Structure 1
Amino acid sequence: MPAESLNDLQRRIVAALQVDGRAPWRKIADTLGEPDRTVARYGTGLIESGRVVVAAVSHSEHSMVLACKSASGTARLNGEALAQRSDVTFCYLTTGSADVVAEIGYRENLKELLSLQLPATAGLQSLTAFPVLKYFKTIRGWRTGALTEAEDQAMLSRTGPDRTEWTIPETRGPKDDDIIGALQEDGRVSVEALARRTKMSETSVARRVEWLLGSGQFSIRALVDPALVGFDVEALLWVRAPSHNVEALGRELRTWPEVRYAAAIAGDAQLIVNVTVTTHLELYRLLSRGIWEEHATHVSTDLIYESRKRGGRSM
């Protein structure tokens, strides 16, 4: 993605897409109080340039976070190999001893993943897997702060808040995978185009999209490099905490605007938290808050210096 930051209106359009990635440009313009044509021009430009990607993220029955150590000089190779997997939702290169961190979804193939597939990843020296036990926040719940509370609520009217729980059925409808696949390519694809692709009526397609979204089969996310919207510092926090404190800590972290993602995990750490801030000093202040002393026993911080994949899409 380009390194230059976005202007104020572009940031507000991105913020609106974060709430409802499929919202018509007219609705976004009405919510922001801007001319329809201006919003459509800026919004289309953001998407066509690749600075913003609106895409469906298919939810998995289970997921785990992989903390990978790469052979010397192969972190980028390792990260790219993981990012190419369709079951990987995010992949970051970090300053930590685990220099590549990724999230991967799975269903019944955990043994094959851990004993055969993942150990064969190019550049991988060793890995530790942390099964996700509970999500407190996903990146769909992250806001850049460019909207007022009223504007955010107006955009939420169609989609509802961030979902952190879902149940995946054993089987889907015969055309559901085609619909999800099309939305993974382009989260703003029209119902008319979906109908042509799936050979269904527009009414039936609209109903299936609403059901798939409402039942949590996937979510629509607007993916943007945080640096483009003013957040130049991104980090992963590995938090150790007594088991009786995890729920309270996770609920509190969910409310922090700096937190993009937070999940309870199984392993040496009890929580993994993705945060983004404007400066290193702001990160220091976040890590100095009293809640850590109150609820956690140890917080390890790794800076993210490159993203290979966000929300299921290579960056």
Structure 2
Amino acid sequence: MFETHTRQQILNESATISELDLEIVNALQINPRAEWSRIADALGLSGPTVARRWNVLAEQGLAWITPSPGQRYLSAGWSAFIQLSSLPGESEALIQRLCEVPAFGTVSMVTGSHDVFMDCFASSHEELMDIVTGAFPALPGITHREVVFVTKLYRQASEWRSGTLEPARARLVSTEAKPAPAGYSPDRLDAALLEELSKDGRASWADLGAACGVSPQTARRRVERFLASGYITLRCDASTAATRGLREVTLMLNVPAQFVDDIGRYFAAQTNCRLSAQVLGAQNLVVTLWVRDYLEAQAFERELAERAPGSIVISRQAVVRTYKRLGHILDESGRSLSVVPLPLWREGSGRAAETPAGSDP
């Protein structure tokens, strides 16, 4: 649907991922831009060996690193979840068109009362309203839509870990948390660096600087600043070959107001939780879990009933196929074919920017 026959043939030649590759992916989930020598020390390998294996994974679309909203993103940008229903004969055309829109980060076909579940990102409230009101009339086959705005993040996919590495090895590649710098407004250089990182989240400082017309030192300083700020983070994703049978389930919940923060944090603390977010809509909490058996979802619902009496499960969705994940167009096996950079952060955006960005040489 989205790839040429030649490209698909190349990808089909290597659809597997080894245990060592899984360890490298896990290390990069923990620290996406860690030096190869540091990862090599944790794994008992050489730096060139780790770099070579990662390059093969990236070239084959089996794993990649890309910018992702950070814990403070909602103070600088805006996000929503959108559910769509469509005419059966129009679903393929609709999904392809949705994948072409930069603001729609992840696009999945799901079970349940809706056909498509996706997230949406915008750098301002006005931009988000424009998308919500203007993006859908021109799209084919839509019969119903539901939009909920994200108001608080308890956990997001960039914090999910596969757990392949032993805890001691995982600690060797982790970084210590640093105090976040004061808020600031992004400028054109920040936005340009983010776009380049969307293409290759491990691009060298020299390559990033050259692509954006600044020195490697400036590129590094700027990237490290917006990563430290918490507005943006980097995330390592992988194809379904790396998830080893995990299935994605999303629960739309309506939790009594006095319990919603506790329940949001409860789900966020679960190792198989990919997302826990408070939202504004008919539901007030959206939770995404990666499970090995769909019956696990029922166990969480029982726990929910005990912890927050009066809670209602508005809907349950299992992902049939993900066509786009955080800007990356995926094939049937979940391998990255290309990328449509997300509008996470643009010059002058930010609804809680306490101080302006300084000038760099």
TM-score (norm 1): 0.89
Q: How many residues align?
A: 309
Using the TM superposition, give the Cα deviation of residue 93 of structure 1 relative to its aligned residue in structure 2, in angstroms: 0.7
- The structural deviation recorded for 1:282 is 3.9
The code of the aligned residue for 2:88 comes to S
Q: How does 1:218-233 map to 2 (within 5 A)?
A: 218-226=232-240, 228-233=242-247
The equivalent position to 2:133 in structure 1, one of 115, 121, 124, is 115
User: Tell me, what secondary structure is at the counterpart of 2:304?
Assistant: helix
Alpha-carbon distance change, 84 to 184 in structure 1, aligned in 2, over 3 angstroms = same
1:191 aligns with 2:230: no
Alignment match, 1:18: 29
- Which deviates more, 71-80 or 22-31? 71-80
Q: Which moved more, 1:174-183 or 1:221-230?
A: 221-230
Residue 267 (structure 2) aligned to one of 246, 253, 270: 253
Instruction: Label 1:309 to 1:285 Cα distance change in 2 as closer, same or farther (>3 A).
Output: same
Equivalent position of 2:321 in the other structure: 306
- When the two chains are superposed, the root-mean-square deviation of aligned CA atoms in Å is 2.5
| Aligned with 1:6 (options 10, 17, 39) | 17
Cα–Cα, structure 1 residues 292 and 16, in superposed 2: closer, same or farther, change >3 Å? farther
Contact 1:78 1:100 in 2 (8 A): no
2:252 and 2:316 in contact (8 A); partners too: yes
Structure 2 Cα separation of the partners of residues 76 and 182 of structure 1: 30
1: CA distance between counterparts of 2:85 and 2:150? 20
Distance 1:12 1:245 in 2: 37
Identity in percent: 26
Which consecutive unaligned segments of at least 5 residues does structure 2 have? 1-10, 331-361
* Shift, 1:182, TM fit: 0.6
Indicate conservation of the 8 Å contact 1:240/1:269, yes or no: yes
1:235-292: CA deviation from partner (whole Å, max 9, x where unpaired): 11111211111100010111111111111111111111111122334444444x4234
- Tell me the CA shift for residue 34 of structure 1: 2.9
Matches within 5 A, 1:283-302: 283-287=297-301, 289-295=302-308, 297-299=311-313, 300-302=315-317
The answer to which of 100-109 and 55-64 deviates more is: 55-64
- Distance of 2:212 and 2:47 partners within structure 1: 31
Matched residues in 2 for 1:26 and 1:76: separation?
A: 44
Moved more, 246-255 or 1-10: 1-10
Q: Distance in 2 between matches of 1:72 and 1:132?
A: 29
| 1:47 equivalent in structure 2 | 58
Give the TM-score, by structure 2 length. Answer: 0.78
AA aligned to 1:145 is: G
Q: Say whether residues 1:145 and 2:145 are aligned partners.
A: no
- Specify the alignment match of 1:234 in structure 2: 248
Any residues of structure 2 matched to 1:12-161 within 5 Å, and which? Answer: 12-57=23-68, 61-106=77-122, 107=124, 108-157=126-175
Asked whether the equivalents of residues 61 and 167 of structure 1 are also in contact (C-alpha less than 8 Å), the reply is no
* Long gaps (5+) in structure 1: none
Q: Tell me if the contact between 1:137 and 1:260 (Cα under 8 Å) persists in the aligned partners.
A: yes
Amino acid at match of 2:65: V
Give 1:219 deviation, angstroms.
1.7
The separation in 2 between residues aligned to 1:238 and 1:276, in whole angstroms, is 15
Displacement after TM superposition at 1:150 (Å): 3.1
Letter in 2 for 1:122: P
Q: Deviations over 1:33-52 (max 9, x none)?
A: 23434322322211111011
Q: Secondary structure of the equivalent of 2:249? A: strand
Of the three residues 278, 281, 284, the one matched with 1:264 is: 278
* Matched AA of 2:54: G
**Distance in 2 separating the partners of 1:193 and 1:24:** 16
Residues 44-82 of structure 1: CA distance to partner in whole angstroms, max 9, x if unpaired?
211111011111236561111001111223333322222
Change (3 A) 1:258 1:231: farther
Residues in 2 aligned to 1:303 and 1:4: alpha-carbon distance in whole angstroms: 24
CA apart distance, 1:212 = 1.8
Q: How far did residue 189 of structure 1 move?
A: 0.6
CA deviation profile, 1:75-123 (whole Å, cap 9, x unmatched): 3332222222111221111011111011112311344223222232233
CA contact (8 A) 2:31 2:175 kept: no
The AA in structure 1 aligned to 2:161 is: R
Provide the rounded CA distance (Å) in 2 between the counterparts of 1:14 and 1:37: 16
